[in-house]
Amino acid sequence: MQSFGLHSGLTWNGVAWSAALEFYVSILFAVIVLLFPRRLYDVFLGLCVAAGLLLYTVSPETLFVNTDWGILRAAFGFFAGCLVYDLRLRSGSRLKAPNLWEACCLVLVIAFAVTTPSGGWQYAFPLAAMIVIYVFSFDQGAVSSVLRSSALQKLGLWSYSIYMIHTFIFQVMKMGASFIGQKAKFDLVGWHNNEKLVLLGTPDQAVLPAIVLSVVLVVPVAALTYRWIEKPAMDAARHGLATASGAASDIAWLRIRSLANPARASIRFGLGALRAIARRGGAYIGT
């Protein structure tokens, strides 16, 4: 419930804000699919535009909200993705000039990452993401072949675990540095922008060491949490759904049999009665 204006900021398990919103938006998606199976594109387009406009109305300075209007941000991006999927289904199996398109997308992503546009320009990010996802969904160009490398595929496989545990790992690092600093009488932890940080030089100097530490510490732990937590949980969920589906099928079949047996008996009784009547009628006529 972190993204409904109930808290002044992210609470204890901060990274869960987006996972919760994905859950809520997925329920909305299921309802739409069930209620409007023939008008999906129109509904997706309407919700995408409405969520984007509402978000811009309440947060014109930044798209990247979480605690106050995260649900609008989630709906904006989610239904933009639905539109891309629908467009991809309507497209052919091949993309013309895939290397050129993928190179342009790479430049687009780097430009957004480096410039970090402010204000209303941030609202172009979902559009850029739609283009990138659409182009790379064809998986044809040279960049796609690089992305299919084993190392990058593993990072993709572990990406959700990386996201879910990185804040926890950083917190443990800060606690460890604070404890060692107190014992050794060193200032290993400081404050920057109201955030307690491990001191690795000035904020500018700390960027590269922080990135290296993040990769060295977070990725191996995420690989372990994927192996022992995320994947077993997904397998258990799939098994549970399959079991529930099988049980529902068994119950339905038993119900059908319970209805069919009396019906079969009634039909047999009726046919027997008709035969008896026919025999009696035939004998009478013959007499």
Three-class SS of the chain: CCCCCCCCCCCCCCCHHHHHHHHHHHHHHHHHHHHCCCCHHHHHHHHHHHHHHHHHHHCCCCCCCCCCCHHHHHHHHHHHHHHHHHHHHHCCCCCCCHHHHHHHHHHHHHHHHHHCCCHHHHHHHHHHHHHHHHHHCCCCCHHHHHHCCHHHHHHHHHHHHHHHHHHHHHHHHHHHHHHHHHHHCCCCEEEECCEEEECCCCHHHHHHHHHHHHHHHHHHHHHHHHHHHHHHHHHHHHHHHHHHHHHHHHHHHHHHHHHHHHHHHHHHHHHHHHHHHHHHHHHHHHC
Pick left, alpha or beta for residue 79 (phi over 0 → left; psi -120 to 50 → alpha; otherwise beta): alpha
- Would you state the pLDDT for residue 240? 84
Q: What local confidence, expressed as pLDDT, does residue 195 receive?
A: 74
Cα–Cα distances (Å) from 90 to 77, 84, 93, 100, 144, in that order, read 20, 10, 10, 22, 21
In this prediction, residue 257 carries a pLDDT of: 62
Mean pLDDT split into 10-residue runs, the chain, 287 residues:
77 83 94 93 95 93 86 94 93 90 94 82 89 94 94 94 89 84 78 73 75 88 95 90 70 61 62 64 47
Say how far apart CA 263 and CA 255 lie, in whole Å: 13
Task: List residues bridging with 196 in a β-sheet.
Answer: 191
Residue 286: predicted pLDDT? 44
Rg (CA), the chain: 30
Residue 101: per-residue pLDDT: 95
**pTM tops 0.75, yes or no:** no
Neighbour tally for 56: CB within 10 Å: 16
